[in-house]
Amino acid sequence: MDWVEAVILGIIQGLTEFLPVSSTGHLLLGRHFFRLDEAGLFLDSMLHIGTLIAVLTIYWREIKELIRKPFSRLSMLLVAGTVPTVIIGLSFKDYFEEISKTGVTVGWEFLATGCVLWLADTMKSRGHKQLDDISMMDAVLIGSFQGAAILPAVSRSGLTIAAALFRKIDRGTAAYFSFLLSIPAIAGGCLLQVKEVLEGQAEKLSFFSLFLGTAMSALFGYLAVKWMISLVKKGSLKGFAIYVWILGLSIIGMQAAGIF
């Protein structure tokens, strides 16, 4: 793999981790297109670290406050949202990894993500709850939706923002809580990939390619978070729904034709 491919995959990861279109699904397509496989698995881990750096950079004040007050209400909400994600992730990890390898359900997962986004967008103006109004049950349900994003083409950010909107949480607060909740999820995902990294063919990647890919992931992840916060507050999610519907139908068509 050359540095151009690493840069492209880094940009894809950075944008799609926080845009509601599924980073895992897009990276799967990218690895398929570049024929990377094991080397792609190693790169995936570093690209996720890039997006983790991005969200930590944006929310470093909040992180510092959470460390200073580990038993604050926000800390407990994040714990409540993370627990169901961990339970779902560990319980079904092997099963969903097998699905990811074949990619057989990817098209249908993109279609499902689009349906959730479209439905959530129709409800986005009804939210009124601010951060102080979010209940533990709200956090648990949002975390459960996040756990469902273990499927390769189901968007983590899309599902958590949608779940928050379903629970009548204010649009800006929905994005804020979703991105904060992504921090333990992304960090945990990186840790779970350690085994794959150690078993993968890391020697196929040059340090320069790896550095560029990770840097692009961090940069475009930062830009994506900033844009999504503004978009969720004032814009529409329906454009993303249409995009993943088109992508999903295209993949299903390619699978039927035997070219994917």
Q: Which of 58-62, 65-69, 126-130 has the lowest mean pLDDT?
A: 126-130
Beta-bridge partners for 169: 129
Nearest to 171 by CA among 246, 237, 252: 237
Q: Cα torsion at 16, 98, 32, 219 (round to 10°)?
A: 30
The residues, ordered by sequence, that sit 6+ positions from 67 with a Cβ below 8 Å of its Cβ are none
Q: In the prediction, which pLDDT does 210 show? A: 85
pTM here?
0.89
Q: How far apart are CA 116 and CA 119, in angstroms?
A: 5
Percent of the chain with pLDDT over 70: 90
Q: What is the pLDDT of residues 156-190, one digit of tens each?
A: 999 999 999 999 999 889 999 999 999 999 988 77
| Residue 254, phi then psi, degrees to nearest 5 | -65, -35
Q: Sorting pLDDT into bands at 50, 70 and 90, what band is 199?
A: low
Instruction: Report the distance separating Cα 33 and Cα 27, nearest Å.
Output: 10
C-beta atoms surrounding 90 within 10 Å: 13
Alpha helices in 35-123 (DSSP H): 38-58, 60-68, 73-102, 106-123
Helix (H) or strand (E) holding 216: helix 207-234
Tell me the average pLDDT across 19-26: 90
Q: What is the mean pLDDT of residues 121-141?
A: 87
Answer yes or no: is pLDDT of 194 > 60: yes
Task: Specify the pLDDT at position 40.
Answer: 57
User: pLDDT at residue 46 above 90?
Assistant: no
pLDDT at 110: 96
Distance CA 68, CA 230 (A): 28
Average pLDDT over residues 136-164: 93
Sequence-distant (≥ 6) Cβ neighbours of residue 169 within 8 angstroms: 127, 129, 133, 134, 138, 177
**Are the beta carbons of 225 and 53 closer than 8 angstroms?**
no
Average pLDDT over residues 32-60: 80
DSSP label of 169: B
Show me where the domains of the chain are located. 3-257
Given this model, what pLDDT does residue 39 score?
52
